[in-house]
Every structure is written in structure tokens, then in C-alpha cells.
């Protein structure tokens, strides 16, 4: 299982949100590019970057930082505010290896399937941020401020037929909480869709969560707050990868 550090950007600064709430922001006094370089120096090869301005407003103002991340040599998957083909092409042209598409993937599947056909399904990671309602994961949109009436399973069925293989799934009730990831959600995802490479996100609190997630069949895990707060160290990640 791949471990992917996350850098969330708001107005050019490194931040984390609590449960996706823009009114509950933690700012970190770290230079975003220096932080990315530190992850690269520790042997990590991929970075997950989120333009929170873009996620909220549709205007990805942090694109220069995405470009700087890609210039370090990290394989960058980035998202936030990709709501049309122009923004998608802009992001990929900046050096991002993969574009992470969230809200529009829920609202306009046919449109996103068309983009995948144009740029290649391998260059798109679908990001489904879900709330668990009566045991069923329901995708949210617009920086987690709006709900939807379609289930995660219905969306995955549709995209799998179009060639999707990489899916980032976040339980937003866990995101930024350090309460531990939703193990049962990712086990269910992997059981239902064994051909999809699921990336888990939300709630990682310590190194103990890594083998538990790997056991679900997840292909990767994104960690933001636990790394930034020192609850999960780069040394512990290296040990996990060595033991895997």
C-alpha cells in the first residue's frame, strides 16, 4: 500500500480543515514547497495536493504551488476546483501527473467520462467525499458543503464501465479528526470493486492505522494532519513500507 502525504492549500498556506469545515481551519507555519521537498527527501514519491480555494469557489488560485510541487520531482496528484475541461487541461499542463476530480464527477458523470476519454483514464483520480447515511456512503460536493442523492456504489458502477481504476474515497466525518480511518468503508469498497485501486483518506492518527488499512485491500492512503502534527512520522512510514 502506497502512503501519500497531503498538502492542503488555502490562500497559498498549508492548512487542514476539521471535517471539511472552512470555519474550522488550522494553519501551519510551513512553506508548502519546502514541506514537499522534505517528503521527497524522506523517500516518498507521490504527493496529494488540494487547492481548497478551488474546491470552494471553482477558482484554483494555488496553481503556481502545484507547479512548484511537480518541479521537485514528486509525482503530484492534485485537485480542487476542476469543473470544466479547461481547468483540467491547465492542471495537467502544470506538471501534475494526475488530476483529482470531485464535485463534477458526482454531478456530471457523462461530462467527466468524456474528459477521461480525452486525456486518458489513467490521468484522472475520481475523488468521492462521502457521509455515511444509514450505512450507505453518500458523496458530497462543493468542498463538502452540498449533499447528493446518488450513492457511492451507483457512481462507481457507472465509472467502472468507463475505465476508471483509481478512486480516492474520504469519509469526511473522519477527515482532520485523528479519530482513525473508516476501516469498514474501505474493506467494503475493495470487496465490491476488486479491480479498483482505492486510496483511503480521512482520520489517520498513527502508524498503527497503516497495516489496518493495508489489510482492507486499499491501494493507498493519504495522510495530512497526522503527518503535520507529528503523530505519524516519516520514519514510521519508512518502516511500514519496509515491512510490507
Phi, psi of 86, deg, nearest 5:
-65, -45
Spatial contact of 157 and 196, defined as CB atoms under 8 Å apart: no
* Pick from 42, 110, 50: nearest CA to 81: 50
Would you please indicate which residues are annotated as catalytic (active-site) residues?
Answer: 8, 129
How far apart are alpha carbons 44 and 128 in whole angstroms? 24
Angle between helices 183-192 and 152-160 (to 10 degrees): 40
Phi, psi of 107, deg, nearest 5:
-85, -35
Largest CA distance in the chain: 44
- Kindly compute the dihedral angle of the four CA atoms of residues 147, 149, 155, 156, in this order, to the nearest 10 degrees: 80
How far apart are alpha carbons 220 and 167 in whole angstroms? 10
Burial 26-55 (b: 16+ CB within 10 A, else e): eebeeebeebbbebbeeebebbbbbbbbbb
Which alpha helices (H) appear in 72-196, and where do they start and end? 85-93, 103-107, 109-119, 152-160, 183-192
Amino acid at each position: 500500500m502506497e502512503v501519500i502525504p497531503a498538502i492542503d492549500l488555502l490562500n497559498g498556506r498549508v492548512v487542514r480543515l476539521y471535517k471539511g469545515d472552512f470555519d474550522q481551519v488550522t494553519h501551519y507555519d510551513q512553506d508548502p514547497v519546502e514541506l514537499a521537498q522534505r517528503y521527497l527527501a524522506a523517500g516518498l514519491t507521490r504527493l496529494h495536493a488540494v487547492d481548497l480555494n478551488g474546491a470552494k469557489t471553482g477558482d484554483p488560485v494555488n496553481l503556481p504551488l502545484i507547479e512548484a510541487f511537480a518541479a521537485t520531482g514528486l509525482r503530484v496528484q492534485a485537485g480542487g476546483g476542476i469543473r470544466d475541461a479547461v481547468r483540467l487541461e491547465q492542471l495537467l499542463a502544470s506538471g501534475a501527473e494526475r488530476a483529482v476530480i470531485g464535485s463534477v464527477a458526482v454531478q456530471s458523470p457523462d461530462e467527466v467520462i468524456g474528459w477521461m476519454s480525452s486525456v486518458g483514464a489513467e490521468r484522472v483520480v475520481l475523488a468521492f467525499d462521502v457521509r455515511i447515511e444509514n450505512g450507505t456512503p453518500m458523496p458530497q460536493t462543493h468542498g463538502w458543503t452540498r449533499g447528493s442523492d446518488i450513492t457511492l456504489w451507483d457512481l462507481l458502477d457507472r465509472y467502472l464501465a468507463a475505465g476508471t481504476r483509481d478512486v480516492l474515497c474520504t469519509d469526511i466525518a473522519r477527515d482532520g479528526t485523528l479519530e482513525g480511518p473508516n476501516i469498514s468503508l474501505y474493506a467494503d469498497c475493495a470487496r465490491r470493486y476488486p479491480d479498483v485501486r482505492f486510496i483511503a483518506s480521512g482520520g489517520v492518527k498513527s502508524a498503527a492505522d497503516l497495516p489496518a488499512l493495508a489489510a482492507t485491500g486499499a491501494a493507498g492512503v493519504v495522510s495530512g494532519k497526522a503527518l503535520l502534527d507529528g503523530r505519524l512520522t516519516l520514519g514510521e512510514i519508512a518502516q511500514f513500507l519496509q515491512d510490507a
